[in-house]
Amino acid sequence: MPMVQINVWKGFEQEKVDYLIKNITKVFTEVDVPAEAVEILIYEVPKSHWGVGGESCSIKFKDIGPKE
């Protein structure tokens, strides 16, 4: 059954994690997948270990998202 893996920056708020788990599961139940069969893994990655466009996210997005 489905396993969804999500990567977010370290410090992502627990309220948002709970929201993602609930609503991604809901999407699958709407296509007749039992909620018990849906697995969701959310990984937190430091912005310094995540790069976009050749630049560390801790620099590129220093004013966006959770602070490390």
Residue 2 falls in the annotated catalytic set: yes
Name the residue among 17, 14, 38, 16 with its Cα closest to residue 26.
38
User: What separation in angstroms does the CA of 5 have from each of 2, 42, 54, 58?
Assistant: 10, 6, 24, 22
Q: Which of 2, 34, 46, 66 is catalytic?
A: 2
Residues forming the active site: 2
